[in-house]
Structure 1
Amino acid sequence: MAHGAAAGVLPMPLCPAAKQSASGQLHGRADPVLHLRQASRAGRRQLKRWPSFTTRASASTVKESVLRDFRQRRALKIISGLQNFDKDKVASVVIAAEKGGATHVDIACDQELVKLALGLTSLPICVSSVDPLAFPPAVEAGAQMVEIGNYDSFYEMGIQFSSEQILKLARDARRILPSVTLSVTVPHMLNLPDQVKLAELLEQEGADIIQTEGGKYSSPSKPGVLGLIEKATPTLAAAYSISRAVKIPVMCSSGLSAVTAPMALTAGAAGVGVGSAVNKLNDVVAMIAEVKSIAESLGLLSRCASEELSSARQ
Structure 2
Amino acid sequence: MFSSSLCMPISPSSHSLLQPNRNPLQGSKPSFSPLKRRASYLTTRALLSTSKETVLKYFHEQRALKIISGLQNFNKENVASVVTAADKGGATHVDIACDPELVKLAVSLTSLPVCVSSVEPTSFLAAVEAGAQMVEIGNYDSFYDQGVVFSPDQILNLTKETKRILPSVTLSVTVPHTLSLPDQVKLAELLEQEGVDIIQTEGGKCSNPSKAGVLGLIEKATPSLAAAYSISRAVKIPVMCSSGLSAVTAPMAITAGAAGVGVGSAINRLNDVVAMIAEVRSIADSLGSSADRHSKSEGKSMTL
Among all aligned residue pairs of Structure 1 and Structure 2, give the percentage whose two residues are the same amino acid: 73
One-letter amino acid matched to 2:107: L
Question: Cα–Cα, structure 1 residues 286 and 182, in superposed 2: closer, same or farther, change >3 Å?
Answer: same
2:262 partner SS:
strand
8 A Cα contact 2:238 2:259, kept in partner? yes
Q: Which residue of 1 aligns with 2:61?
A: 72
Question: Cα–Cα, structure 1 residues 123 and 68, in superposed 2: closer, same or farther, change >3 Å?
Answer: same
Q: Provide the C-alpha distance between the structure 2 equivalents of 1:142 and 1:218, rounded to a whole number of angstroms.
A: 35
Question: How big is the shift at 1:110?
Answer: 0.5
Deviations 1:174-211 (A, max 9, x none): 11001000000000010000000000000000100000
Q: Provide the C-alpha distance between the structure 2 equivalents of 1:174 and 1:223, rounded to a whole number of angstroms.
A: 43
Find 1:178's aligned residue among 156, 167, 171: 167
Find 2:211's aligned residue among 194, 216, 222: 222
Q: Which residue of 1 aligns with 2:300?
A: none
Q: Provide the C-alpha distance between the structure 1 equivalents of 2:163 and 2:275, rounded to a whole number of angstroms.
A: 37
Q: Provide the C-alpha distance between the structure 2 equivalents of 1:190 and 1:40, rounded to a whole number of angstroms.
A: 30
8 A Cα contact 2:254 2:260, kept in partner? yes
TM-score normalised by length of structure 2: 0.87
Question: How big is the shift at 1:39?
Answer: 2.2
8 A Cα contact 1:182 1:207, kept in partner? yes
Deviations 1:202-238 (A, max 9, x none): 0000100000000234111121111111111100000
Give ranges in structure 2 of 5+ residues lacking alignment.
29-36, 293-304
Find 1:284's aligned residue among 256, 266, 273: 273
Q: Which residue of 2 aligns with 1:3?
A: 7
One-letter amino acid matched to 2:103: V
2:109 partner SS:
coil
8 A Cα contact 1:43 1:133, kept in partner? no
8 A Cα contact 1:253 1:274, kept in partner? yes
Give ranges in structure 1 of 5+ residues lacking alignment.
11-29, 304-314
Q: Which residue of 1 aligns with 2:32?
A: none
**1:59 maps to 2:48:** yes
Instruction: Let me know the Cα RMSD of the aligned residues.
Output: 1.9
TM-score normalised by length of structure 1: 0.84
Q: Which residue of 2 aligns with 1:136?
A: 125
Find 1:203's aligned residue among 192, 216, 238: 192
2:204 partner SS:
coil
One-letter amino acid matched to 1:91: A
8 A Cα contact 1:81 1:275, kept in partner? yes
One-letter amino acid matched to 2:124: F
Aligned residue pairs total 277
Question: Cα–Cα, structure 1 residues 53 and 101, in superposed 2: closer, same or farther, change >3 Å?
Answer: farther
8 A Cα contact 1:215 1:255, kept in partner? yes
